[in-house]
Amino acid sequence: MENDLAGQKVYEHFQTLALPPDIEVYQGGLAGLNLLPLLEHGGRVVFVDSVKGFASPREVVIMDREQIVKKRGQHYGHQAGLPYLLAVLPLVNPGTMPHEIVLVGIEGPVSREAIEKAARLSLQIATGGLLSPE
């Protein structure tokens, strides 16, 4: 599988599962700052994406908001990514913010096993069963 399709592949995997009724799944793709409206209601948010340079190939990692923001570069356009989105979130949405934001990342290349593990961990985090990075 291609290296940058982790989020899409996990989203597709979720489409085959019966998810709890209080879990909402969105395919954010390259939405960038267009994801801001999804973050305005508080609660717990779990992103799933490809990562590079955090772990061994095919390994699944969990990072909290602070760890993600630390990886922010100076990109402000299409390449800005999740770190930039989370860095500007408090500036553009000073009201209700998610109380927990987590990234479940798959270090490439993406494998079926990594997709299933990322999906399982994402659901555990989303339902409060796993509250902090490993």
CB atoms within 10 A of CB 65: 20
Q: Is residue 49 part of a domain?
A: yes
Domain containing 60 equals: 6-126
In three-state secondary structure terms, 81 is: helix
Residue 77 domain-assigned (yes or no): yes
Q: At 26, which CATH number?
A: 3.40.50.1450
Q: Note whether residue 71 is domain-resident.
A: yes
Is the distance from CB of 68 to CB of 123 less than 8 angstroms?
no
**What is the reported pLDDT for 94?**
66
On the CB side of 127, CA atoms within 13 Å amount to 12
Residue found by looking up tokens 């899409």 in the block: 8
Structure confidence at residue 123 (pLDDT): 94
Is 50 exceeded by the pLDDT of residue 76? no
Whether 125 and 102 have beta carbons less than 8 Å apart is answered as yes
Asked if residue 1 belongs to a domain, the reply is no
Domain count, the chain: 1
pLDDT in the model for residue 131: 58
In a domain, 78, yes or no: yes
| Residue 40 belongs to a domain | yes
Domain assignment of residue 101, yes or no: yes
Which two structure tokens, joined as six digits, stand for 73?
Answer: 């570069």
Residue 2 pLDDT exceeds 60: no
Q: What is the pTM of this model?
A: 0.83
Query: Would you say residue 133 lies in a domain?
Result: no
**Amino acid identity at 113:** E
pLDDT in tens, 37-46: 888 777 889 9
Lowest mean pLDDT among 44-58, 59-73, 82-96: 82-96
Residue 42: CB atoms within 10 A of its CB come to 12
